[in-house]
Chains A and B, each alone.
Chain A
Amino acid sequence: MAKPAGPSAANAGMFPDLRRDVAFPVAGMGLLFGAFIAFGLLYQSLFSGAAERLVTVAMIDAIIVLGIQIYVGNTGVLSFGHIGFGAIAGYTFAIFAIAPAEKAKRIPDAPLGLADLDVGSWGAAGVAVAVTVVAAIFVGIGLARSGAESGAVAATVITLALLFVTHEVARNWPEMTGGARAGLSFRIGGALDTRTPIYVALAGALVLARLFAQSRRGRLAKAGREDDLAARAMGVNPMVQQMIALLISVAVVSVGASLRVYETGSILPENFFFNYTLLTLAMLIVGGRNSVTGALFGVAVMTVGRELARRLGQDGFEVFGLGLDGAPLDWIFRENLQTVFFGTAMLGFMIWRPRGLLSDWEFDEWLYRQLTRSQSAPGVPRTAVGADHGDRLEVAGVSVVFGGFQALSNAGFDVRSGEVVGIIGPNGAGKTTLLNVITGLVPAASGQVRLNGVDLIGAPSHEVARAGLVRTFQNLRLFGSLTVRENVEVTRLMAIATHDDRSSPETDVLVAAAGLWEHRDRRAGELDYGNSRRLELARAAAARPRFLLLDEPTSGMSDAESQAMVEHVQTMAALVSAGVVVIDHDLDFMIGICHRIYCLDRGAVIAAGTPEEIQADPSVQAAYLGLPKSD
């Protein structure tokens, strides 16, 4: 069934492709939800008594784990703090939901007249979500900023501190929380008498988690997760995506936490602390943190595993009807075996299978691929090369000093749209440093980078990209666990959202133009060298650049591949009407593709001209071969 390939025309909405990104996820998550519930009901009919409670608890755990997945899975930042947010939500819910008569006994001195307030359980859940999301905004700013500055590790420590602090506050503020011993309670044995709200919340959490992952924001967040630097170079500002993911994630966790408190009928500081953090994180990690399907799968696997561990700890092998009392393994079957189970599961998976059981696999994506396998490659329009659209890039007087080393001194070049300009020079001449200055990765001591007259020097990376200067990376910085198509698509989404004055080729056209059609659904991390280079090119082109900056596009390629790359670069530049600045060592490639060439040596431009002039220039030969100049 050959259908027109790819999503319909430039769609700057929340979802790139309604069928793939909304219809399939909703249907797929509906099926998963049904399977999860069916499994739970089956389990509970097989094992009587406590099994019913176990299934209820597993469903609530699933809501919270899915909430955590929205942040951890999409941003790649490990958070210990979500259970701390859960504590804030849980206490807020309890304070607002418990009847005034009961509060008068437990927290008569609560400030702000909270002791007399009665808003009912629905209202309380709403307040809990609102309060927690406000707290998340404050924490999120610190998270995003320190994460951007010092890496994801710093963000993780802040989340850990949050967990610890909510716990301390809960213990030491008895007027509000009932303290460490008594806590707050509705009535013993649970206050929730129907599962309906749990079903609704779980189904909602599943669909929301999956839709966020497919949405424009979610995709941009994933680009940042895969490679922060490359995402910025494509125009993504990961701070924004992380904040949005955090808020949605915290809202879902708040609902789950409220249900958890209501189901238990009480809340104590220990309910939302380290042990529960370990439990929820282990479920997420074991199932596969990058996948919503995986998160749900992890909840099922770990719940069953925990129950087995608990009963083994209680009764040893008698669980299986084996009368091995006093058997040699009795030393291991003790109370608290579940904690050992969770700790070892976490450690074992980190060492041997860090991406979890399902890794990136999503049920609905698999369904979609099964139904669209036979798509044919789209035609690549033949556009005239070399048309000038009036864009000018003028780089002048750029100097960079590393310590005592003058990496660039007064370097510069200029290029117009439709033109291909090359920069050559021996190793260490400063070619990549020049690109790094232009794209905002290295600060310059002086100089100008003027795009159509606007000076971009010193602008942050993602703003340079949005202005229209987009680069590839010499050392390949693809979004490794996204597919080839997703790599291109996420960049294109960014471009559509930030400047809609220029037309943009379809994702599939770009993929086909780079010669990657047959690899479109493979993960970028699995590609060989040549294909990775071509994907770098397609991804940069998808950002709708005014100028493509290519850092050694043929490095590591065979001669035949380099020659083919000339055509790929020309097609790509023509497709997006961009000019090209290219750095490379392969002189045949450079002469084949460049209109003009600049030669850098020791940080300064020593020659400029057509490929023929450069080849004939004695100072270029001297720089390359180390010969003394003839003069």
Chain B
Amino acid sequence: MTELLQNLIDGLGRGSIYALLALGVAVIFGVMHLLNFAHGELITVSGYVAFWTISEGWSWYLVTPAIIATAVATSLVIERVAFSRVRGSSDFTLLLTSFGVHFVVFAVFLLYVSASVKTFPRPGWVTNTYSVGSLNLEVFDTVVIGVTLVTLLATSWLIQRTMFGLALRAAAADFDTARLMGVRSDTVIRGAFALSGLLAGIAGVFWLMRAGNTVPSAGITPMLKGVLAALIGGLGSLRGAVLGGFVLGLAEVLLRSRLPDTVASLTEGFVFLLIALLFIFRPQGLIRVAHAERV
């Protein structure tokens, strides 16, 4: 029982980061029908900014806003340079455009920075733990879960209660009609990219605090987790993306702790098997978009 509770809390911690990433992916999918394979690059770029600023002697209190600002700015620049040119194209074109962006960013760091791992010190409290009863909790997980909850609530307020959120929801429901009704497409798309960057930035702070290093290919794993979580939840549903993130995190933690030691290193493989099964029996994902209201 204690072990299960422990797993659940660990899974929530891991799932929180996935949920933030997935929500960022889903917001852009909503307005552009673009599944952004370049989403992880926001974390790659942020990772190098963290490395450089920390080398300059900045503390994590300064690095944190720098990372978030970098992620938002990168998101907007990528939209401007690449995605604005393929708006309204076929899914195929959109997907490969984002894949191309991923590789260009990757290659630029490979070419002009270094192929080797750049490490930077993690904040001291990341590895601290505390006990509640027989549970052994990480300070880090607690902070991640707390910040994620606040972020999700704020995002929910933004989407439900503001004009921008209304425009975003309208555009997600029917982009052409929304434009006819006076929603400015540039504004709503850029806003979506900024929001997506902000969410990726917050996730990126945690990701980098835990990793303590970066490489040109650092963006691949967070991108994959975010995209998979969005898919598990049901493409197009914001609520589903968040749910998918938590489900993916929990599944990974539970599998890793329950599988026998000999195959524990193959957790990723088993997670994929579960996802494949999910799509065979529930191809629309956890939340069906046609019937589910969007957050």
Does B bind A? Answer: yes
Check A274–B217 contact: CB distance below 8 A.
Answer: yes
Q: Which residues of B contact A147 (CB under 8 A)?
A: 283
Given contacts A141-B280, A346-B96, contact A340 B111 (CB under 8 A): yes
Whether the pair B100, A336 counts as a contact (CB closer than 8 A) is no
Q: Which of A113-145 contact B (CB under 8 A)?
A: 138-139, 141-143, 145
**A351-B104 in contact given A151-B235, A153-B235 (Cβ < 8 Å):** no
Among A30-38, A156-164, A522-530, A542-550, the stretch in contact with B = A156-164
Closest to A337 in B: B111
A-chain residues with CB within 8 Å of residue B110 when the two chains form the complex: 336, 339
Cβ-defined contact, A343 with B284, below 8 A: no
Taken together as a complex, chains A and B put the C-alpha atoms of A80 and B96 apart, in Å, by 10
Taking the closest CB of chain A, its distance from the CB of B64, in whole angstroms, is: 29
A-chain residues with CB within 8 Å of residue B289 when the two chains form the complex:
150
Instruction: Say whether B103 contacts A157, CB under 8 Å.
Output: no
A375 at the interface (CB under 8 A from B): no
Interface size class of A (residues with CB under 8 A): 35 or more
Asked if A343 meets B103 with Cβ closer than 8 Å, knowing A150-B235, A153-B91, A351-B86, the reply is yes
**What DSSP secondary structure best describes chain B's contact surface?**
helix
Residues in A lying within 8 Å of B, measured CB to CB: 76, 78, 80, 138-139, 141-143, 145-154, 156-158, 160-162, 164-165, 168-169, 172-173, 274, 278, 281, 285, 334-337, 339-340, 342-344, 346-348, 350-351, 354
User: In the complex, which residues of chain B have a beta carbon less than 8 angstroms from the beta carbon of A145?
Assistant: 279-280, 283
Known contacts: A142-B276, A346-B100. The answer to whether A153 contacts B95 by CB under 8 A is yes
Residues on B with C-beta less than 8 A from A76 are: 92
Asked if A351 meets B108 with Cβ closer than 8 Å, knowing A161-B228, A164-B268, the reply is no
When A153-B35, A158-B275, A351-B82 are in contact, do A78 and B92 touch as well, CB less than 8 Å? yes
Does B268 contact A169, Cβ atoms closer than 8 Å? Answer: yes
The smallest C-beta distance from B287 to any residue of chain A, in angstroms, reads: 11
In the complex, which of the residues A141, A168, A350 has the most CB atoms of chain B within 10 Å of its own CB atom? A350
Contact residues in B for A153 (Cβ distance below 8 Å): 29, 33, 35, 91, 95, 235
A146 vs B106: C-alpha distance when bound (angstroms) = 30
Closest 5 pairs (CB-CB, A-B): A347-B100, A343-B103, A149-B283, A172-B265, A346-B100
Tell me, in angstroms, the Cα distance from A148 to B283 when the chains sit together. 8
**CB contacts between A and B, total, < 8 Å:** 147
Contact A173 B279, beta carbon cutoff 8 Å? no
Number of residues of chain B lying within 8 A (CB) of chain A: 51
Chain A residue with Cβ nearest B93: A354
Bound CA–CA A336/B108 (angstroms): 9
Cβ–Cβ contact B93 & A350, under 8 A? yes
Q: Flag whether B107 is at the interface (Cβ < 8 A).
A: yes
Min CB distance A532 to B, Å, is 19
Taking CB atoms, residues of chain A closer than 8 Å to B224 are 160-161, 164
From 68 to 126 in chain B, residues with beta carbon under 8 angstroms from any chain A beta carbon are 82, 85-86, 89-93, 95-97, 99-104, 106-108, 110-112, 115
On whether A281 and B268 interact (CB within 8 A), knowing A138-B276, A148-B283, A153-B91, the answer reads no
Q: Which residues of A contact B269 (CB under 8 A)?
A: 165, 168-169
CB contacts (< 8 Å) of B275 on chain A: these are: 158, 161
Residues of A within 8 A of B208 (CB): none
